[in-house]
């Protein structure tokens, strides 16, 4: 029998090379850590949105930051030589460690030679990565973590659950219980102030008695040998300046060419991280310092060592995909904007050191590929992409990690099924991954065999079988296969009798075509009502489903085939209209990895979400939406709750739906979640069903809240999986916006 979640320690499941550890960690996090993680990450996330909105040239800043990082990583070997020369010129010591063992040995030796007995330490993820504390302890050197969160974790013997707020999984009550249990104190410790005062008393003694200080470094400048320390508690300032021996440790990727580069990164880091304009303390030091507040009774000679750690990073630099990881400035925006991370935090969505969407790449690069298995929690929702100050395509990194892990798992893979399903030979994967990745084939045959396939898929015995073989959770309602696909049913829609106000080719994506043709039919009906000429393109798998499972070669082949279909229509003068937002995200975003640049740009410029295109036509031709879609004629009333798909938001195609619905006279409340938790196939998987539903709770609660003021609202969502998720949570029908508009056109008086 498996252990109850309450007795699973985070450290025991930090190594998630085995899937079972990942699943245990999710259970533990949902049961114990979720409320605190949710509160803290969402608070950071809200503050981040506000902070970046106040930066006038935010996008230009991001472009410049990205360009600096690209250039720095491209010439990293030279920069390392330069920074060494600068540090030595300043009177400090420099050590380039090829791995964690070498870095730890160097630091331990330096401390040993100076008879260091007590080290005060500022927060440093690199020191976590190389297990520095353990090495020092084995040498008889006491290490005192001085960041309050790190202090809590040291007391609890846990690994960080977040890049910036390592103890965000702790509520105040849990910290009180931990301190009382550990320090056997009768002090009340019932507020943040009391807890901080209590920790400060302990740490003050440590600072006063410390023989050495070890800090990290947010940035290191090659031209001056300066280090930047960004913090909110002031403990790193004391760590780096109070003891006469200061050792700074950082990954080699932290080196920037010049001190002049710092301004951009300092301007971006705090807003992206905690939502502050600037953190409480930002120190730019060029050690060894001569004017630091060294205690009067100590020798005034100060000693400084900069230890830069390779530990796989120079290898990542050569990796065609993982090299992008080295641009990361560890701001944590990608963690805080991630719905899955907001729900379980880094003890589930994280490894031994690094967490969140970017954490998998760090673990794979500095540790081992299989330690990145937790990247399975990246649903590819893309919400983090626009939040990253250096524009890292995090879901793309995770798809590639998934592909590589699929290859490592290949011994258990479904070679036979793979051949039957025509996946690319390079795409080895488990049966569930092939099942979810090749929905185009299952959808095609399911639709061909409907209604038999629908009847069979509802039989309890078959659901058990599907759960056992394909990993489809039996608690999920399965959307029925369409007996008449969109491609088939569309032939019967009457042609338009109005002036030509546009020409579109609707792309019958596989989800709409085989699973929800009524959305596509509604769109055709609406377009024709407005006077837009509509044809359907050929049906083709676009690659979205394959990409999400790490079947990258298959996705590429599908993307290429689909692009030929789309380009033919574009060159005949039609715009491409897509019903399913995740497929539109393929055309506007992901295909940059698969298609030749010109083709990608051409398709990107001519592809639209259905309502986005409609809104554009209405605006360009100055047509009144109420003439066609007056909300007063909607049979279910004018009150709506609208949830836009995560990828639709990322590609900037969500807002037109809201605008059009409001212009038509609807009273619209919109969801404020990053993602509904379903995220394509993610919520169907038996391993992730509970997490998916826990993520969905925020959205369900927002709907409930929006209905407190006067009854039900018609539920509207653009993504097919969002519709399924909202239906699962609230047991009510959910409509595509085009279905809402089509209902109105059907009520129009002759
Ligand atoms: S793509 Fe979505 S799920 Fe993946 S890391 Fe980014 S926000 Fe999280
Ligand atoms: S990947 Fe980007 S958003 Fe995430 S921590 Fe790194 S810099 Fe920040």
Which DSSP state fits 373?
G
Encoded tokens for 205: 């003694």
Determine if ligand 1 sits within 6 Å of the CB of residue 676. no
Point out which residues pair with 145 in neighbouring strands: 121
User: Distance between CA 693 and CA 727 in Å, rounded?
Assistant: 11
Indicate whether residue 346 lines ligand 1 (CB < 6 A).
no
Distance 439 CA to ligand 1 centre (A): 22
CA 383 to centroid of ligand 1, rounded, Å = 6
- What's the CA gap between 341 and 6, in Å, rounded? 20
Closest CA to 305 of 263, 392, 243: 243
Instruction: Please tell me the total number of residues recorded for the chain in this structure.
Output: 750
The residue whose CA is least distant from atom 2 of ligand 2 is 388
Pocket of ligand 1, candidates 395, 646, 677, 682: which has the most ligand atoms within 8 Å of its Cβ, to mutate?
Answer: 395
Helices 517-530 and 610-620, packing angle to 10 deg: 10
CA distance 682 to 375: 12
Structure tokens belonging to residue 13: 């499941």
Q: Please choose, from the candidates 157, 361, 337, 691, the residue with its C-alpha nearest in 3D space to the C-alpha of residue 350.
A: 361
For the CA of 675, the closest atom of ligand 1 is 2
C-alpha 632, offset from chain centre: 40
pLDDT of residue 686: 95
Pocket of ligand 1 contains residue 382 by CB under 6 Å: yes
Q: Which of 159, 168, 157, 96 is nearest to 128 (CA)?
A: 159
DSSP state of 356: S
Would you say 513 and 598 are in contact if contact means Cβ atoms under 8 Å apart? Answer: no
Contact between 341 and 320 (Cβ < 8 Å): no
Task: Name, in order, each residue with C-beta under 8 angstroms of 218's C-beta and a sequence gap of 6 or more.
Answer: 227, 228, 229, 230, 254, 265, 269, 329, 330
CB 158 within 8 A of CB 9: yes
CB-based burial of residue 663 (10 Å sphere; 0-12 exposed, 13-18 middle, 19+ buried)? middle
Report the distance separating Cα 245 and Cα 211, nearest Å.
Answer: 7
Per-residue pLDDT, 578: 97
**What torsion, rounded to 10 degrees, do the Cα atoms 9, 15, 17, 23 define?**
20
Residue 555 CB: number of other CB atoms within 10 A? 30
Instruction: Give the C-alpha separation, 746 to 340, whole Å.
Output: 40
Beta bridge partners of 256: 221
Here the tokens at position 372 are 């990145």
Helix or strand (DSSP H, E) at 380: none
Residue of 691, 699, 697 whose CA lies nearest to 716? 699
Spell out the long-range contacts of 188-193 with Cβ–Cβ below 8 A and sequence spacing 24 or more: none
Contact call for residues 649 and 383 (beta carbons, < 8 A): yes
pLDDT in tens, 201-227: 999 999 999 999 999 999 999 999 999
| Chain-centre distance for alpha carbon 371 | 18
Query: Residue 390: CB within 6 Å of ligand 2?
Result: yes
- pLDDT at site 462: 87
Task: Verify whether ligand 1 is closer than 6 Å to residue 379 (CB atom).
Answer: yes
Cβ–Cβ under 8 Å, residues 108 and 137: no
Rounded to the nearest 5 percent, the helix, strand and coil shares of the chain are 55, 10, 35
Sign of the Cα torsion 14, 17, 22, 28 reads negative
Residue-level pLDDT at 385 = 97
Report which of 284, 179, 297, 296 is spatially closest to residue 236, judged by C-alpha positions. 284
What residue's CA is closest to ligand 2, atom 4? 334
CA angle (448 as vertex; 732, 494 as ends), nearest 5: 70
| Distance between CA atoms of residues 691 and 494, nearest Å | 44
List of the chain residues with pLDDT < 70: 1-3, 291-300, 411-426, 492-499, 749-750
* 308, 251 contact by CB (below 8 A): yes
Residue with the smallest CA separation from ligand 2 atom 8 is 331
Cβ of 337 closer than 6 Å to ligand 2, yes or no, is: no
Determine the distance separating the centroid of ligand 2 and the alpha carbon of 330, expressed in angstroms.
Answer: 5
Element (H, E) at 120: strand 118-121
In sequence order, what are the residues at sequence separation of 6 or more whose Cβ sits closer than 8 angstroms to the Cβ of residue 396?
A: 321, 590, 593
Extract the runs of DSSP E, i.e. beta strands, from 227-296: 227-231, 245-251, 255-256, 281-285
Q: Which residues pair with 144 in a beta bridge?
A: 120
Q: How far is the CA of 245 from the centre of ligand 2 (A)?
A: 31
Q: What is the whole-number distance in angstroms between the Cα of residue 79 and the centre of ligand 2?
A: 22
Instruction: Measure Cα distances from 680 to 109, 370, 553, 725, 743 in Å.
Output: 52, 24, 20, 10, 27
Alpha carbon of 152 to ligand 1 centroid (Å):
28
Atom of ligand 2 nearest to the CA of 357: 4
Mutate to test the pocket of ligand 1, among 26, 383, 681 (most ligand atoms within 8 A of CB): 383
- Location of structure tokens 């809104």: 615
Angle at 720 between CA 492 and CA 34, to 5 degrees: 175
- Residue 450 has a pLDDT of 85
Other Cβ atoms less than 10 A from the Cβ of 98: the count is 12
* Residue 421: per-residue pLDDT: 55
């Amino acid at each position: 029998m498996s252990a109850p979640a309450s007795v699973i320690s985070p450290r025991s499941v930090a190594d998630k090379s085995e899937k079972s550890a990942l699943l245990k960690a999710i259970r533990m996090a949902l049961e114990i850590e979720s409320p605190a993680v949710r509160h803290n990450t969402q608070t950071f996330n809200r503050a981040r949105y506000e902070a970046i909105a106040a930066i006038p040239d935010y996008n230009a800043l991001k472009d410049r930051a990205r360009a600096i990082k690209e250039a720095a990583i491209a010439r990293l070997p030279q920069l390392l030589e330069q920074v060494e020369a600068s540090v030595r010129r300043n009177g400090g010591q420099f050590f380039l460690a090829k791995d964690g063992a070498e870095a730890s040995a160097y630091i331990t030796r330096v401390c040993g030679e100076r008879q260091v007995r007590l080290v005060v330490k500022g927060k440093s993820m690199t020191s976590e990565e190389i297990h520095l504390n353990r090495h020092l302890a084995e040498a008889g050197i006491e290490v005192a973590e001085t960041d309050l969160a790190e202090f809590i974790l040291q007391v609890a013997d846990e690994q960080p659950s977040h890049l910036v707020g390592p103890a965000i999984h702790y509520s105040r009550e849990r910290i009180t219980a931990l301190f009382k249990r550990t320090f056997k104190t009768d002090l009340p410790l019932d507020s943040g102030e009391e807890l901080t005062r209590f920790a400060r008393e302990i740490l003050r003694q440590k600072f006063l008695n410390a023989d050495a200080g070890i800090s990290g470094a947010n940035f290191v400048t090659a031209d001056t040998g300066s280090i930047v320390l960004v913090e909110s508690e002031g403990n790193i300032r004391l760590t780096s300046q109070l003891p006469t021996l200061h050792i700074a440790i950082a990954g080699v990727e932290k080196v920037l060419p010049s001190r002049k580069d710092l301004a951009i990164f300092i301007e971006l880091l705090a807003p992206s991280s905690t939502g502050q304009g600037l953190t409480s303390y930002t120190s730019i030091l060029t050690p060894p310092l001569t004017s630091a507040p060294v205690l009067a009774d100590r020798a005034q000679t100060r000693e400084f060592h900069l230890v830069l750690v390779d530990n796989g990073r120079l290898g990542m630099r050569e990796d065609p995909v993982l090299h992008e990881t080295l641009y990361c400035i560890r701001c944590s925006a990608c963690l805080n904007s991630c719905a899955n991370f907001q729900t379980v935090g880094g003890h589930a969505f994280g490894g031994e050191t690094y967490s969140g969407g970017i954490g998998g790449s760090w673990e794979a690069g500095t540790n081992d590929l299989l330690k990145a298995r937790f990247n399975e929690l990246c649903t590819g929702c893309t919400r983090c992409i626009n939040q990253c100050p250096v524009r890292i395509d995090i879901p793309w990194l995770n798809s590639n990690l998934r592909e590589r892990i699929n290859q490592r798992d290949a011994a258990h893979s479904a070679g036979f099924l793979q051949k039957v399903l025509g996946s690319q030979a390079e795409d080895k994967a488990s049966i569930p991954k092939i099942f979810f990745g090749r929905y185009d084939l299952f959808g095609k045959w399911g639709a061909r065999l409907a209604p038999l396939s629908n009847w069979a898929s509802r039989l309890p015995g078959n659901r058990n079988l599907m759960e056992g073989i394909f990993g489809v959770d039996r608690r999920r309602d399965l959307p029925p296969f369409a007996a008449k696909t969109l491609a088939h049913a569309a032939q019967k829609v009457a042609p338009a009798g109005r002036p030509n106000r546009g020409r579109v080719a609707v792309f019958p994506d596989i989800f709409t075509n085989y699973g929800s043709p009524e959305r596509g039919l509604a769109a055709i009906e609406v377009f024709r009502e407005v006077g837009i000429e509509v044809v359907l393109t050929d049906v083709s798998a676009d690659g979205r489903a394959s990409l999400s499972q790490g079947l990258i070669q298959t996705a590429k082949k599908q993307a290429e085939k689909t692009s030929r279909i789309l380009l033919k229509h574009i060159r005949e003068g039609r715009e491409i209209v897509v019903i399913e937002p995740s497929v539109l995200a393929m055309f506007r975003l992901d295909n940059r990895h698969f298609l030749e640049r010109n083709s990608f740009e051409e398709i990107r410029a001519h592809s639209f979400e259905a309502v986005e295109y409609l809104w554009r036509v209405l605006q360009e031709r100055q047509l009144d939406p109420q003439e066609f879609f007056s909300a007063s004629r909607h049979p279910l009333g004018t009150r709506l709750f609208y949830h836009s798909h995560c990828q639709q938001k990322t590609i900037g195609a969500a807002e037109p739906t809201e605008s059009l619905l409001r212009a038509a006279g609807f009273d619209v409340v919109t969801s404020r979640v990053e993602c509904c938790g379903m995220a394509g196939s993610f919520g169907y998987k038996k391993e992730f069903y509970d997490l998916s539903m826990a993520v969905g709770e925020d959205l369900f609660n927002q709907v409930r809240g929006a209905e407190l003021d006067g009854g039900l609202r018609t539920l509207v969502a653009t993504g097919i999986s969002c519709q399924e998720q909202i239906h699962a949570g609230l047991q009510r029908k959910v409509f595509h916006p085009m279905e809402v508009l089509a209902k109105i056109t059907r009520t129009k008086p002759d």
